Amino acid sequence: MSTAELFQRHAGNPILTAADWPYPVNAVFNPAATAVNGETVLLARVEDRRGISHLTVARSANGLDGWSIEPEPLLAPDDETVSEPCRSDDLVSWSTPEQVLQPRAGAWWDSLRIGIGPPPLRTEHGWLLLYHGVKETVAGEIYRVGLALLDLNEPARVLRRLPNWILAPLALYERAGDVPNVVFPCGIVHDAGSDEVRLYYGTADSSICVATARLDDLLAAVLAAPPNGEES
């Protein structure tokens, strides 16, 4: 069963670009996302015209348009912040990260490297994980989106991994930009009432887009996948 079209791109993509920002920037991309008091809130990565990134908040009533963007960054780099390793229960004490998935050897779409996407969604079947995978080609790297299911009690244990990708750079705004051929999943919002999942993703390191799917469809696809995710 093909799962390439599980996510449907919003017709108004890209939903946020540098031209929408209240101050001059080069690009906006790779947003975190959540729902707060009925609004969708994005924490967008913003690259300024020095090439240095910061984070800025954008809000929307429906999560698709009508965005209100804060006039100042929420978080910006300084000379005092010390980077610590990726897990913490209290945001004070940090432990070394654990490897959960590995790139698949050979000609696979996620054979070069993989990385975490949005925070996993808790379901009755396990943690639903969207991740990005990269393949090296003669024309450069291609970033796509994959799907896996992790054990609820032991999240480092992979239950299922979909063999094929579920979102790839096909639209012009995904194929052309500062870093071409990139869809980079970062934020996810699930509406329990409608069962809709909204995936917010960076495109070509230049803009922010959104695509939608039904949670039931995502679960059905990953539950039908082999445990190792390497069968066709």
In CATH, the number for domain 8-76+101-223 is 2.115.10.20
Domain spans in the chain, listed from the N-terminal domain onward: 8-76+101-223
Residue-level pLDDT at 230: 61
- The pTM score is 0.92
Q: What is the pLDDT of residues 1-28, one digit of tens each?
A: 454 578 999 999 999 999 999 999 999 9
User: Residues of the chain whose pLDDT is less than 70?
Assistant: 1-4, 79-85, 228-232
Residue-level pLDDT at 89: 78
Please compute, for residue 76, the number of CA atoms within 13 A of its CA located in the half-sphere on the CB side. 7
Q: What is the pLDDT of residues 156-174, one digit of tens each?
A: 999 999 999 999 999 999 9
